[in-house]
Structures are given as structure tokens and as C-alpha cells.
Structure 1
Amino acid sequence: MSPRWNPNPDVRTGRHVVYNLHVHLVFVTKYRRGAMTDEILTRCEEIMREVCTDFEAELKQFNGEVDHVHLLVHYPPKVQLSKLVNSLKGVSARLLRKEHDSHIRRYLWGGHFWSGSYFAGSCGGAPLTVVKQYIENQKRPV
């Protein structure tokens, strides 16, 4: 099979699928406490990048503030988003607490790091109005 030219590197192929799935995730620290420092955010990004790699996903963008982080993740359709989120939050919480316990303990207690909730928004590709119009305009047989 010869490699095909692909003008969009975000469009990936699997054995039976062609996909381009991106999600914007936001995780907030428990009680929205400002436990993050630049050093902790840097380490958090490293951890989350490794977790994404384990899921055959790619962390495209990462940033945050003292009480939350934003991620842009490109992931394959075989990945259950909830499992990816649980791993991202669980692994990062465990390692960040282990590596920065003296700082984090001042802001967060009871073994918690992240709030139980999160934001996930699908993104990328054409706007919904364009997709709806494209589907509407298909040449349906009479």
C-alpha cells in the first residue's frame, strides 16, 4: 500500500477509520484552591503528555493558572474520553502530590487534588452550521 498525500496532518487513519477528533479539557483544583505554581504546571504538562501517549493520543496544547489547567487533546476514536480524563486526573494528582507534597498540602487536604467535575468540549473541524448544511445538501435518491 503506497502512502497517500494528506494535506491535513490532524486527519489520522486506522485500519477501518479516518478520524480527526480533538477535545478541549479543563480541570479545576479541588475547592478552586490556587495550588499551582509554574514548576507544578510544567510537571503537570509532562505527566499529562505521558498519559496521552499511553492512550495513543497527543497533547497538542497545555496551559493553566493557579487553580485550573486547559488541555487540547487529539485522540483516536477507540479511546473512551471518560477513561482518558480519569487517567489524566488520577495519575497527575498522585504524582504531583508525591513530588510537591509540602507545597500542595498548604492548599489542598484530604488526599484530593482535582475537583470531581471537569469540562470537555469537542472542537476542530468545520462549524456545526457548515456540517448541517453539507448533510442537508446530499443528493438523496428519489
Structure 2
Amino acid sequence: MKDIFSHLCQNQKSELLEFGGELDHVHLLIDFSPDVAPSKLVNTLKTISSRMIRKEFAEHINKLHINKFYWKPVFWTGAYCVISAGGAPLEVLKQYIQNQEEPE
């Protein structure tokens, strides 16, 4: 997933600086151009990553669906949170993300 997000960010005039997360969400530290709308970037990341992950792991996702663990018809929810780092040291932000549990 990290590779997917990194590649997609590059295509959107952005750079994925840090990746981490928990079982039900991810944390991304992204440096993006001022002319990139955060909502459009998030939409692109969710849409394309969902398509790629569903394609690559279709058999696994179908098994999860049968077992009622993965029962939603969508990969990501519509919700997201964007926080501006506005001057916070990048090392502090990276450390926060690294301290989160790794997504499965």
C-alpha cells in the first residue's frame, strides 16, 4: 500500500514523506504543491488505491467478504482528515506516524 500511495503522490505533484496506520485507517505525511487541492488528492489516492488493491488481492478480499469481516461494498469510507503541519518539525510528524500500528 505504501508503494501505491508513493507512486500516486508522485503523479499528483506530491511526495509521500511518511506512511503508517492502524487496522482501520492509514496515516500519510504528504508534501504537496500549493496548487493541489487536498480533497482531490485524497480522492485520487482512495479511488486508485482501492481499484489496485481490489484487483491484486481479489481472492483474499472475497474470502473476507464471505467471513463477514470485510462486508462493505467499498474499500475506503468517504471520511478523511487533513491537518496542516504549518511549521511543525517534520521529524516530530514522522515520529508520530511511525509510532502508530502498521496496517495489515
Superposition deviation, residue 103 in structure 1? 1.9
Q: 1:1-32 deviations in whole A, cap 9, x for unaligned?
A: xxxxxxxxxxxxxxxxxxxxxxxxxxxxxxxx
Aligned length: 84
Bigger proportion of residues as helix: 2
Residue 92 (structure 1) aligned with residue 49 (structure 2): yes
Normalised to the residue count of structure 2, the TM-score between the two structures is 0.73
The structure number with the bigger radius of gyration is 1
Bigger proportion of residues as strand: 1
Q: Identity over the aligned pairs, expressed in percent?
A: 46
What is the aligned counterpart of 1:117 among 49, 59, 79?
79
Matched residue type, 2:17? K
Unaligned runs of 5+ in 1: 1-43, 127-142
Matched residue type, 2:32? Y
- What is the RMSD of the two structures over their aligned residues, measured on CA atoms? 1.8
Normalised to the residue count of structure 1, the TM-score between the two structures is 0.54
- The answer to which structure, 1 or 2, has the higher relative contact order (CA under 8 A, 6+ apart) is 2
